[in-house]
Amino acid sequence: MVVIRTNRACPEAGGKVLTRPAGARTGRRTLATVACRWAPLAVAFLGAVLTSCSAGSAVTDTVATAAQDSSSAIATAKLAVGLDSGGKLTRAATSTTLDDALKEVQASRDTVLRLSPTSPEDRQVREEALKVLDSSAASLTTARNAVSSDDGGPSLSDGARALAAAEDALSQLTSKVGKK
């Protein structure tokens, strides 16, 4: 076992205590004063730039992202239902995948719901997006019921059809608002 004792303060200095030159401290204070004076202006400028960059596109951007994320969730659900129909996925794995997809769509819906559109066009886009996202969530519920019910509820092909319809609606929404 090797035990080494070093000067903890500054081993390279060989035990000497290093002190900072007086001017360095003064210089830092001057820099700090300048920074304090200009910081609010810089923050205000940055805020103005960011606001001008994002103004007017927040609703369509958010809807585009929500549509993209939901499309991915619906595609996942379609794949899972297809694999389940082909006997390649267990019921537990399929229902977990559908639950995760539903969470994703609900999260997207929540972001759209939180939007505050200021123009009639934006309001229309939001309403349309909410309708599509609601129908997507409903299609996932149908698919989930199809996977978990043995009592004459919807079949897997019903679930697949509902998912295909949701996929079409999302694709139309995406092409309307444009890809992010």
Instruction: Write out the residues near another protein by the rule CB under 8 A.
Output: 1-4, 6, 8, 11, 65, 69, 71-72, 75-76, 78-80, 83, 87-93, 95-97, 100, 103-104, 179
Task: Specify the residue, 27 or 178, whose C-beta has the smaller distance to another protein.
Answer: 178
**Cβ nearer to another protein, comparing 104 with 122:** 104
CA separation for the pair 165, 18 (Å, rounded) = 73
Q: Toward another protein, which CB reaches closer, 65 or 135?
A: 65
CB of 151 to another protein, least distance (A): 18
Contact in structure between 92 and 124 (CB atoms under 8 Å):
no
CA distance 145 to 156: 9
Dmax of the chain from CA atoms?
86
Beta strands in 79-172 (DSSP E): none
In the complex, what is the shortest distance from the CB of residue 130 to another protein, in angstroms, rounded to a whole number? 21
Q: Please state the closest distance from residue 37 (CB atom) to another protein, in A.
A: 25
Residue 133's CB: how many other CB atoms inside 10 A? Answer: 27
Q: How far is the CB of 22 from another protein (least distance, A)?
A: 24
Tokens 């060989």: give the residue: 14
